[in-house]
Homo-oligomer: A and B are copies of this chain.
Amino acid sequence: MKLLKQEAAELTDRALEELLPSVETVPASIHGAMRHSTFAGGKRLRPLLAYQAAAIFAGAVPKGIERLGAALEMLHTYSLIHDDLPALDNDDLRRGKPTCHVVFGEAIAILAGDALQTRAFEVLAGLDSPPEATVQIIGLVANAVGTVEGMIGGQVLDIESEHQKPTPELVQAIHRAKTGALIRVSVVAGGVYAGAKLEDVARLTLFGCKAGLAFQIVDDVLDMTVDSAQLGKTAGKDQATEKATWPAVFGIEQSERDAARLIEEAFAALEPYGSRADGLKAVARYLVERKN
């Protein structure tokens, strides 16, 4: 697992290197900005989930799937660049490095986020999968980063809920949408790329929902319990801005129990695949055991 995670990240990095325009390509500033944030030390977890989900159906990591992984990572990076903008979370530090707008200015940071989203869909349109599967993947991914129970919708709920007393329903809605949806669709898209059918998509969706929520609960706990240096971003930010987080509603101990329980429930959805799902389960275990 440890080695595989490293190998998968390198596979993703090579694809991103190849698929993003070079810093010499005109106009250079935006390509520099896109690369600055894309190669800022991300863990490449969403691609890893896609690769391991695909392995259930393909027996191994299928050829060309690293382009799906790269597209998922571009979408994740785009969301971080826009989240960090002064008008949104106003964060200067991300993964231990200055954020995009700090280095390139606000205008280029806005456009770099825009362009990473665009490039992600362009890369998806060029996948090796059969056209039917490619169209299905694009539709699923677009839905997961959209406004109705998707990533942007979660971002809006998050902004609107600052400085309000969070309820269990609200924090769950934010988490499922803001980070959960992209994690969920990474799993599902990986499966579809490798030939997953209707029932498989349903199982992967269940797994992805549970694992995605567990991931964000752990993120919230780490924000409260780990310092900025280890976290690679400004720790304690959630409390300072009174964000709707899981521990703010349920406390740290209950949060840790909830994350562990969700991962067990996620595993149950994969039972029909037996040991073929071991790789995907290992990633899910890492999601809740990580320390940054």
Contacts and interface: CB of A to CB of B under 8 A. Distances in A.
A28 to B, nearest CB: 9
Contacts of A125: 135-136, 138-139, 142
A122 to B, nearest CB: 3
A125 to B, nearest CB: 4
A240 B132 CA distance: 50
Contact of A142 (B111, B119, B145): B119
A107 B88 contact: yes
Interface residues of A, number: 52
A131 B133 CA distance: 9
Q: How many copies does the complex hold?
A: 2
Interface in A114-129: 114-115, 117-119, 121-122, 124-126
A25 B107 CA distance: 30
A254 B208 CA distance: 60
Nearest to A142: B122
Interface stretch (A51-59, A156-164, A209-217, A245-253): A156-164
A96 interface: no
Most buried by B among A31, A82, A125, A131: A125
Contact of A30 (B122, B131, B139, B153): B153
A272 B132 CA distance: 33
A166 interface: no
Interface of A is mostly: helix
Contacts of A62: none
A152 interface: yes
A138 B142 CA distance: 12
Contacts of A69: none
A274 interface: no
A201 to B, nearest CB: 15
B118 A27 contact: no
Given A30-B156, A113-B114, A138-B138, A21 B147 contact: yes
Contacts of A150: 118
A148 interface: yes
A83 to B, nearest CB: 10
A131 B138 CA distance: 12
A159 B105 CA distance: 12
A245 to B, nearest CB: 18
Contacts of A132: 131
Given A78-B114, A118-B147, 9 more contacts: A25-B147, A27-B147, A30-B147, A82-B114, A111-B155, A111-B156, A114-B117, A119-B147, A125-B139
